[in-house]
Copies of this chain bind each other. A is one copy, B any other.
Amino acid sequence: MTQSVDMSVTLAGLRLRSPVLTASGTFASGREFADFIDLERLGAVVTKGVSLEPWEGNRGPRIAETASGMLNSIGLQNPGVEAFCATDLVWLAEIEVPVIVNVSGHSADEYAAVIERLEREPGISAYEINISCPNVDAGGMAFGTACAPAERVTRACRSATSRPLIVKLSPNVTNITEIARAVESAGADAVSLINTLLGMAIDARTFRPRLARIVGGLSGPAVKPVALRMVWQVANAVDVPVIGMGGIADAEDAVEFMLAGATAVSVGTANFVDPTSAIRITDGLAEFCRARSIPRVAELTGALRT
């Protein structure tokens, strides 16, 4: 069939040309991938985490491979919001693609301060608030594993901007729907999940942890079942749209997340395995719809038959 598929989706007021985004921290600001794919075909570029001051990140080794996945403890290394505006944003300004800036902080005020600085910049479509990074001591996941701090950070960010606010949730919780409802009530326009699962790897030969920081975040196909479950639970618990991610490696994975209730999906670890993943998945998603005469990809969202 040659009939074309409407791949656009609307997310927190943003009209995206595709539901396929990049997962923060796995795509930098896209520059390194421009050699492999046409960035302008992405639904949006989600940048790596940006903080108020430069962050050094953690000592190495920073990654360890695991069965069908990987652990990372990068620790949000980034040059800080000033440098980000001076370099990444300037480069991105030349590209016709929505930019979602992933924001990190050690305190609610710091998150808000990053946003305040970014508010002065054009060309930012939305913010993704990372309250779920397992790789930093202060802040990070601590904000994402209880309702009160999650709400506090969301409120602080909400009051700092009228741009769409996406809050990124941690899977390392007993009940993710509680947290999702909390950030929704605090003003989030969308939620994204999952961030990485806290994990650990040990080298039996050396008796040492494989990561210098001992623990790190698990990502990749191994986590997909947990991610799908949480996306499904959250999509049924909140009214705001959900951005689903966790182990997406091919178009069928993306379809599964949309059926579970995701309005858009993010591709993370798969970018390392195949730098063309995001576009390969976009094309596969269109083909999936075409083959089934589904006119709009958005119709997949929540279409799970239970």
Residue from A198, A209, A222, A305 having most chain B Cβ neighbours under 10 A: A222
Residue interface bits A60-74, CB-to-B below 8 A is 1, else 0 = 000000111101000
Distance between Cα atoms of A288 and B207 in the complex (Å): 12
A279 within 8 A of B: no
Chain A interface (Cβ within 8 Å of chain B)? 66-69, 71, 145-146, 172-175, 197-202, 204, 206-209, 214-215, 218, 220-226, 228-229, 232, 247, 252, 255-256, 259-260, 288, 303-306
A215: chain B residues within 8 A (beta carbon) = 229, 232
By the criterion CB–CB under 8 Å, are B306 and A208 in contact? yes
Interface SS, A side: mixed
A175: chain B residues within 8 A (beta carbon) = 145
By the criterion CB–CB under 8 Å, are A199 and B225 in contact? yes
- How far apart are A285's CB and chain B's nearest CB, in angstroms? 10
By the criterion CB–CB under 8 Å, are A229 and B199 in contact? yes
For residue A254, which residue of chain B has the nearest CB? B204
For residue A146, which residue of chain B has the nearest CB? B174
For residue A229, which residue of chain B has the nearest CB? B200
By the criterion CB–CB under 8 Å, are B221 and A226 in contact? no
